[in-house]
Amino acid sequence: MKPTVLLTHPLPPDWIASLEGQVTLIIGQEETPGWRDNLLQALPQAEGILSLLTARVDEAILEKASRLRIVSNMAVGVDNIDVKACTRRGIPVGNTPGAMTDATADLAMSLLLAAARRLPESSRDAREGRWQTWSPTGWLGADLRGATLGIIGLGKIGRAVAERARGFGLRVRYWQPHQSPEGEAGGAEYVPFEALLSSSDFVTLHCPLNESTRGLIDESALRKMKPSAILVNAARGPVVDTSALTRALSENWIASAALDVTDPEPLPPSHPLFSLPNCFIVPHIGSATHGARKRMAEMACENLLAGLRGERLPNCVNPEIYKP
C-alpha cells in the first residue's frame, strides 16, 4: 500500500517526479490553495502533507490527521505551520532552505533599486503622458554608493543581499538577536536595533516570522527611521504593522516602501497602501524563478519521502524530535 499524501496545490509534474509510484497523491485545487474539501475529507488517511505557505497546518488539521508522519512545506518559512504542535506529536516538519536564497536576494535588491530610483512612479508617468521633456529635476531618486543598508535578519538570504549590496557601494549594517560571525566576516557591521533604524538609508527585512518578529516594524520603529528612508520587505507581511506603515507613508515619516509580502495576503486592491505613490507592492514573488521554485518542490519531495520512510529529513525545522 502506497502512503497517502495530501498536496495542498497542484504542482508541475516534473517538479514532483520523485513522488511517482511512491505515494497516492490527493491534490488540492488550483484557484484557492489551502484546505479544500477533498483534502479535508482525506485527512484521516493522510500519512504525509506537502503544503504551500498558503495552507495553515494547525491543531485543527493535525487532530484530523491521526496517521500523519511528515509535514513537508515547500518554503523556507514555516510560519503557516504550528511546529510546536507537530513536535508534540513527534511529526517532523521539513522546509527548503537555500533553494530560494539567490532568487529572494535578487528580488529584494530589485525592490530596493526600483524604490530608490522611483521606477513604478516614473514608468506610470511616462505611460500616462507626463513625460514632457528631459527634466533635470524630474524623478530624482536616492544614491546608493556610500549610503547605508540596514538588514534585519542576517541569515542566508540577508547575507546574499549584503553580498549584492556591496557591489552597489552600500555600507552594510545588520541587526538580529544574535551576532553573526559569518555575516561580519562578509563585512556587515552589527548595530543595535534602534541604531540600525535611525542610521539606515534603506532597511530590508529578512527575518523569519515568529512571536518575536511579529509587528517588529511598528509605529515606534517607523518613527525612528529617517524621513528619507526606504523600507523593503521580502520576508513576511506581519513583520510590519500594516496600519502603522500606511500612516508612515501617507504622513511621510519615511520616504517609501517596496513590499513583496503584505498583511493580509493577498492585500485587497482597495487597500490604501495601493493608492499611495510611495508604496510599491508585488505579489509575494521572492522565490518566483523557474530554478528556485523547481528546486523548492524537489527539496520538499525529498523531505516528504524521507519522512515517509521513517528517516531523518534532509531539512528539518524540529530536529529535537529525533533526540532519544
State the residues that interact with ligand GLV by CB under 6 A.
53, 75-77, 100, 286-287
**Which DSSP category does 180 fall into?**
-
- 199 is written with which cell numbers? 542610521
> Of 63, 184, 189, 265, which is the active-site residue?
265
**Backbone angles phi and psi of 270, in degrees to 5:** -80, 0
Contact 32, 8 (CB under 8 A): no
How far is Cα 159 from Cα 163, in angstroms, rounded to an integer?
6
- SS3 per residue for 85-101: HHHHCCCCEECCCCCCH
> Of 159, 171, 173, 284, which is the active-site residue?
284
Task: Please report where in the chains the cell 505551520 appears, as a residue.
Answer: 81
Least CB distance to ligand GLV at residue 75 (A) = 3
Contact 170, 202 (CB under 8 A): yes
Q: Which is nearer to ligand GLV, 94 or 286 (CB)?
A: 286
Q: Which is nearer to ligand GLV, 43 or 76 (CB)?
A: 76
Q: Which is nearer to ligand GLV, 100 or 297 (CB)?
A: 100
- Return the closest-CA partner of residue 101 out of 262, 282, 296: 296
Q: Which is nearer to ligand GLV, 73 or 242 (CB)?
A: 73
Q: Which is nearer to ligand GLV, 97 or 186 (CB)?
A: 97
Q: Which residues contact 87 (CB under 8 A, 6 or more apart)?
A: 93, 318, 320, 321
Q: Which is nearer to ligand GLV, 76 or 232 (CB)?
A: 76
Least CB distance to ligand GLV at residue 227 (A) = 30
- Omega prior to 264 cis, within 30 of 0: yes
Least CB distance to ligand GLV at residue 278 (A) = 24
How far is Cα 35 from Cα 81, in angstroms, rounded to an integer?
13
Helix/strand/coil for 259: strand
Q: Which is nearer to ligand GLV, 197 or 317 (CB)?
A: 317
Least CB distance to ligand GLV at residue 135 (A) = 38
Is residue 127 among the annotated active site residues?
Answer: no
Least CB distance to ligand GLV at residue 207 (A) = 12
Is residue 265 among the annotated active site residues?
Answer: yes
- 266 is written with which cell numbers? 493577498
Q: How many CB atoms neighbour CB 29 within 10 A?
A: 14
- Return the closest-CA partner of residue 212 out of 283, 152, 259: 152
- 282 is written with which cell numbers? 508585488
Torsion of CA 270, 216, 149, 183, to 10 degrees: -130
Least CB distance to ligand GLV at residue 5 (A) = 20
- 120 is written with which cell numbers? 513604478
How far is Cα 300 from Cα 77, in angstroms, rounded to an integer?
12
Least CB distance to ligand GLV at residue 53 (A) = 6
Is residue 63 among the annotated active site residues?
Answer: no
Q: Tell me the catalytic residues.
A: 236, 265, 284
